[in-house]
Amino acid sequence: MSLRPDLAIIAAHLPAGARALDIGCGDGELMAALRDDRGADVRGLELDPGNVAVAVGRGLSVIQGDADTDLAGYPDQSFDYAILSQTLQTARAPDRVLDELLRIGRYAFVSFPNFAHWRVRLSLLWGGRMPVTRLLPERWYDTPNIHHLTIDDFRAHLAERGVIVEGAWFLSGDKQTGGAAANFLAEHAIFLLRREQSKVDRG
Amino acid sequence: MLTTPSSLDQRFGLSRRVVLPGPLRLDGGALLAPVEIAYETYGTLAADGGNAMLVCHALTGDQHLASAHPRTGKPGWWQRMVGPGKPIDTDRYFVICTNVLGSCMGSTGPASTDPTTGRPYAMTFPVITIRDMVRAQALLLDHLGVARLMAVVGGSMGGMQALSWAATFPDRVEKCVVIASTARHSAQNIAFHEVGRQAVMADPNWRGGDYYDGDPPAAGLAVARMAAHITYLSEAGLTEKFGRRLQARAQKSFGFDADFQVESYLRHQGLAFTDRFDANSYLYITRALDYFDLAEEHGGLLANAFRGTATRFCLVSFDTDWLYPTAESRSIVHALMAAGAPASYVELSSPFGHDAFLLDSPELDRVIHGFLSAGR
C-alpha cells in the first residue's frame, strides 16, 4: 500500500516512536502507516462514522468528532505531533484549529491544497469558473473546502501569529518542488510548525 | 493452568450457578455472604486464559446472553451479537455472562433467602452499587480461574459495569467496550427511576417488600416498566411504529381502554415484564444505577478513574438515544483523552433510541468485531 504523497512526506519525517494525533484521519491510512512503519503511538479524530468504523477495525484508536469543536478536550502538549492533512481548508474556523493544533502538539504537520497553483489561477482567469482540478475535484456547491487558501496566505498567517516553520515541502504532480516559486508551482503544501519558544514554555 | 478440558469442567457451560463463600464487602458498608452467582459461559477457555471475555447485561437483562430464556423461551438477549462467527465470536473467545448481584435470575438478590432468618431478604437486602456487581463478578472470575479479561463488553447498565471494571480492576481488563451508556446517572435518569419505584411501592401488594408469600406487586411493577420502556425508545420510533393509530377498533371508545396502539403495546410490555422479574430486584438495581457516578468515586474528576490505565476503550452511542445521550459518551471520551487512555468512539445513527444497541446494526457489528479482533 503506498501512501498519498503528502502523507508519505509526513510519515517520512515523523520520528520513530513519537506520540501523534491525526486530526481528520479518514479511515486511518496514515495512522496505520505511522504505527506499523514508525512505531508511533497514534490516535485519530474523524468526522465520518463510516471512516471511524473502518479505522477501529484496523485496531486504531479513533474518536468521532469535529476538528472545529472537539479539540478542546485534548490536554495541552499531550502529543509530540498533531497532524492536520487536507483538513484545514474544510474547517469553519481554520485559525482556531491551527491554534489548537499547536496547543495539543509540540509540533504540528499541516498539509493543504494550494489555491494559487497556476492551473487554478488559469481556470479562474480564463474560464471565469471556480476551478475543478485533480486535487479540488468538487464543484462550488458541494465542496467541503470552505476556506481556500494559498501558500503565501498561510505563510503570512504564520508570520502574524509568530508560528515557527520547522520545515516545508511542496508537491507538484506528486513530485517535490522548490519553495521559492511554490505559491505558483505547488499543488500541495506540507508545513511542520511549532509555537514560538516563549509560548511553548508557558504551555 | 487447567488440568481438565473446559468442555468437561462443571464450572463451564450454560445455566451454571455457584455459591461463593464471600463475604463481599459492599460499598454501602455491609458484608454479604454467601454470594451466589448464576452465569453462563460460551466457547472454550484457551490454555493461557487469554481469550476470556465478560459481557455485562442491562437493568432487566440476565445471564442468558445467547441461550433461550428459561421462562419466556425467547432467544438470548444478545444472540445476534454473540455466537459462532458473530462479532463476539464464541469460536474464538471464551465468553462469560453473569446475572448481576441484586437481580432475580439466580444471583443473590432481595428474593434470596437470608441465611440468618431463613426468610427472603426483601428490603433487608443491602443496597448495592454497580461496583458491587463488578466485585461479585471478579469473585466469579477467580472461581473460574480467569485472571485477566481480554475484554469487558456491555450496553446501557452493562456499559457502566464495563467502565467500573476498567476503573476498579485496570490490570484485569485489556479492552473495554461501552455501548449506549454513561458514567453517571443524570437527574432525569434518576427521576424516571423514582417514578418506577414509587409505582411499585404504591401497589398494595408490595407490603413493604414482604410479598414473597403472596401476590407480587405486579400492577406497580408493570407501570414502572411502562414508564421505563418509553425512555428506551425514540419519539420518531414511537411515531413510526404506532403514530396515533387505534388498537383493533375503528374509533375512539370515549373511555379508558387502550384505544391507542401505543397504549396497548406499553400495557403488554408492562405485563409481560412482571412474569419474569422481581419487583424488589427492580428497586435495588434502579437504585444501583442512580447511585452510579464514576467521577464521584474518583475525587470528582472522571479522568482520575482512568489515570495510567493500559486498557483500550471503545465507546459507541446512538444519535436518537435520549436516555444516555451522545453527550454522556463524549464526556467519557474527554476524560479518557485527559487521562491519555487509548480510546475510540463513534456515534451511530439509528431511529430506535436507546434500544438500538440490542437491535440489528451492521455498523455496530463492524466496530465491535474490529475492535475486539484488532491486535490479536
Q: pLDDT tens, B140-154? A: 999 999 999 999 999
What pairing do the DSSP bridges indicate for beta strands A188-194 and A164-172?
antiparallel
If asked whether residues B26 and B61 sit together in one domain, one would say yes
Taking CB atoms and an 8 Å cutoff, what residues of chain B touch A49? 346-349, 363
- Could you tell me what percent of chain B has a pLDDT over 70? 98
B59: domain CATH number is 3.40.50.1820
Give yes or no: residues B270 and B342 share one domain: no
pLDDT at B46: 96
B271 & B307 share domain: no
Question: Which residue is catalytic, options B107, B321, B350, B361?
Answer: B321
φ/ψ of A90, rounded to 5, equals -100, -5
Residue B160, C-beta contacts closer than 8 angstroms, at least 6 positions apart: B130, B154, B181, B182, B183, B289, B292, B294
pLDDT number for residue B1: 45
Average pLDDT over residues B94-110: 98
| pLDDT tens column, B163-218 | 999 999 999 999 999 999 999 999 999 999 999 999 999 999 999 999 999 999 99
CATH number of the domain encompassing residue B274:
1.10.1740.110
Residues B338 and B200 both lie in one domain: no
Mutate: best of B311, B331, B345, partner A, most A CBs <10 A: B345
Query: Last residue of a domain, which of B227, B260, B287?
Result: B287
Where in the sequence is the domain holding B272, given as residue range(s)?
A: 189-287
Query: Any bridge partners for residue A172, and if so which?
Result: A175
B354 tagged catalytic: yes
Q: Mean pLDDT over residues B94-121, rounded?
A: 98
DSSP line for B310-364: --EEEEEEETT--SS-HHHHHHHHHHHHHTT--EEEEEEP-TTGGGGGGS--HHH
What is the mean pLDDT, run by run of 10 residues, along chain A of 203 residues?
A: 86 96 95 95 94 91 93 92 94 95 97 91 88 84 91 96 96 88 93 77 44
Decide if B156 is catalytic: yes
Say yes or no: B137 and B240 in one domain. no
Contact A64 B312 (CB under 8 A): no
**Which CATH class, in words, describes the domain spanning A5-114+148-195?**
alpha beta
Chain A and chain B share a number of CB contacts under 8 A equal to 69
DSSP state of A172: E
pLDDT of A123: 87
Out of B264, B287, B310, a domain closes at B287
User: Closest Cα to residue B53, out of B151, B120, B142?
Assistant: B151
Instruction: Please give the grid coordinates belonging to residue B44.
Output: 472454550
Number of domains present in the structure of chain B? 2
Largest CA distance in chain B: 70
| Rounded Cα distance, B155 and B176, in Å | 11
Domain parsing of chain A, residue ranges = 5-114+148-195
Domain membership flag for residue B167 = yes
**CB A81, CB A109: distance < 8 Å:** yes
C-alpha to C-alpha distances, B268 to A115, B88, B222, B342, nearest whole angstrom: 63, 31, 9, 43
A53 and B366 within 8 Å at the Cβ level: the answer is: yes
What's the Cα-to-Cα distance from A17 to each of A22, A34, A37, A167, rounded to whole Å? 15, 9, 10, 20
Q: pTM for the complete prediction?
A: 0.92
User: How many residues belong to chain A?
Assistant: 203
> What is the Cβ-side half-sphere exposure of residue A65, based on CA atoms within 13 angstroms?
29
ipTM comes to 0.85
Structural domain contains residue B9 = no
For residue A191, give the DSSP letter.
E
Q: Are B271 and B203 within one domain? A: yes
End-to-end Cα spacing for chain A: 38
Contact between chains at A52 and B342 (C-beta distance less than 8 A): no
* Domain stop point among B255, B287, B319: B287
Residues B324, B276 within the same domain: no
> Among partner residues B345, B348, B374, which is closest to A63 by beta-carbon distance?
B345
Phi-psi map region of B70: left, alpha, beta (phi>0 left; psi -120 to 50 alpha): alpha
Average confidence score pLDDT of chain B: 95
pLDDT computed for residue B6 by the predictor: 57
Which of A49, A56, A78 has the CB atom closest to B314's CB atom? A56
- CB atoms A53 and B367 under 8 Å: yes
Domain co-membership, B138 together with B196: no
* Interface mutation vs chain A, best among B315, B344, B347, B365, most A CBs within 10 Å: B344
**CA distance readout (Å), A31 to A83, B313, B338:** 10, 17, 20
pLDDT at B2 over 50: no
Mean pLDDT of all residues in B258-266: 97
**Minimal Cα distance from A44: which residue of B?**
B344
Indicate whether B258 and B346 sit together in one domain. Answer: no
Predicted confidence (pLDDT) at residue B303 exceeds the cutoff of 90: yes
Query: Which of A31, A64, A100 should one mutate to test binding to chain B, selecting the residue with the greatest count of B CBs within 10 A?
Result: A64
| pLDDT, position A197 | 66
Same domain, B109 and B168: yes
Per the model's pLDDT, the better-predicted residue between A169 and B7 turns out to be: A169
Shortest distance, CA B345 to any CA of chain A (angstroms) = 4
Q: Tell whether B352 is covered by a domain.
A: yes
Q: Do B25 and B85 share a domain, yes or no? A: yes
Q: Using CA atoms, how far apart are residues B70 and B255, in angstroms rounded to an integer?
A: 38
Q: Are the CB atoms for B313 and B178 separated by under 8 Å?
A: yes
B140 shares a domain with B65: yes
